[in-house]
């Protein structure tokens, strides 16, 4: 069972997830360690459907009796295991086990074979980040705030709470979730469509300031400055494929 201190550390995460407009969705989590348990409790507590996969039956004891989701014994990249976890119904898949290779393999299977719209893999070796980014696989480093970082990848709305708000409260700097069809488009096209200013990109684990002619690549994390009262509109525009402009 999670300690009271650990639950307290994630109370804000739970409040944010509960406050979003995302309808009840199904989430599959591979790995029942500390981060996996925190994710499972956060999403389950917010009313979502959750399946946790782990090859060690004893690991599920960490979830405690309050967890109402399903527990699936097996490997997260095994198709039978994934089907039992209802991967075909998943809104998002998070691979947060202790093995980098297993996490990446499971994430690729979830995305490429089952077309799960939101996937993320936790990695321990930062040197591999560039390889995974080139494969278009969102990753998070194994740090103490991993739970927050994973939620930003599998709950696009969650990132809209913002990383920084200027003193007047009118402007917000935040990471935004892009529909995959935005990749290959120019930064200025994102700015014009959503009415935002792209402040910086995180590409292959490194921050970079883009030019208006910079093209987005798969795996890019996009951080924009926007008007706070337009955040919902921005979210809807960028979460959908770009609208073709007729001549």
Residue 189, φ and ψ in degrees, nearest 5: -70, -40
Q: Which residues are CB-neighbours of 111 under 8 A, at least 6 positions away?
A: 93, 119, 137
Say if 244 falls within a structural domain.
no
Of the three residues 123, 157, 191, the one that is the final residue of a domain is: 157
Output the pLDDT for position 197: 94
Output the pLDDT for position 214: 94
Total number of domains constituting the chain: 2
Whether 150 and 172 share a structural domain: no
Report the predicted TM-score, pTM, of the whole model to 2 decimal places.
0.62
Of the three residues 111, 142, 157, the one that is the final residue of a domain is: 157
Whether 36 and 139 share a structural domain: yes
Say if 131 falls within a structural domain.
yes
Q: Note down the domain range covering 191.
A: 162-239
Output the pLDDT for position 20: 46
Output the pLDDT for position 27: 95
CATH number (domain holding residue 220): 3.30.70.1450
Say if 247 falls within a structural domain.
no
Which of 47, 127, 54, 105 shows the shortest CA–CA distance to 84? 54
Task: Tell me how far apart the alpha carbons of residues 232 and 157 are, in angstroms, rounded to a whole number.
Answer: 9
Output the pLDDT for position 51: 97
Output the pLDDT for position 79: 94
CATH number (domain holding residue 90): 3.40.50.720
Write out residues in the chain with pLDDT < 70, as ranges: 1-23, 126-127, 129-131, 133-136, 141-164, 204-205, 245-247
Whether 147 and 166 share a structural domain: no
Task: Tell me how far apart the alpha carbons of residues 169 and 82 are, in angstroms, rounded to a whole number.
Answer: 44
Digit-coded pLDDT (tens) for 69-107:
999 999 999 999 999 999 999 999 999 998 888 998 999
Whether 138 and 180 share a structural domain: no
Q: What is the arrangement of strands in the sheet containing 118-123, beginning at the earlier edge strand?
A: 70-73, 49-54, 26-30, 90-95, 118-123, 139-141
Whether 21 and 105 share a structural domain: yes
């Amino acid at each position: 069972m999670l300690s009271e201190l650990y639950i307290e550390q994630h109370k804000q995460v739970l409040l944010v997830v509960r406050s979003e407009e995302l309808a009840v969705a199904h989430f599959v989590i591979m790995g029942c360690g500390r981060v996996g348990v925190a994710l499972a409790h956060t999403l389950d507590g917010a009313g979502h459907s959750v399946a946790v996969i782990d090859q060690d039956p004893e690991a599920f004891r960490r979830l405690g009796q309050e967890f109402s989701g399903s527990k699936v014994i097996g490997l997260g990249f095994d198709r039978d295991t994934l089907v039992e976890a209802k991967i075909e119904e998943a809104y998002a898949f998070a691979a947060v086990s202790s093995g980098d290779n297993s996490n990446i393999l499971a994430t690729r299977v979830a995305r490429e074979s089952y077309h799960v719209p939101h996937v993320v893999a936790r990695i321990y070796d930062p040197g591999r980040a560039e390889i995974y980014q080139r494969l278009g696989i969102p990753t998070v480093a194994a740090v103490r705030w991993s739970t927050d970082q994973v939620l930003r990848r599998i709950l696009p709305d969650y990132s809209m709470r913002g990383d920084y708000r200027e003193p007047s409260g009118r402007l917000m700097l935040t990471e935004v979730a892009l529909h995959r069809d935005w990749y290959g488009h120019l930064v200025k096209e994102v700015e014009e469509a959503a009415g935002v200013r792209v402040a910086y990109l995180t590409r292959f684990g490194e921050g970079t300031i883009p030019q208006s002619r910079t093209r987005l690549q798969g795996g890019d994390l996009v951080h924009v400055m926007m008007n706070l009262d337009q955040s919902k509109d921005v979210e809807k525009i960028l979460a959908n494929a770009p609208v073709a402009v007729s001549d």
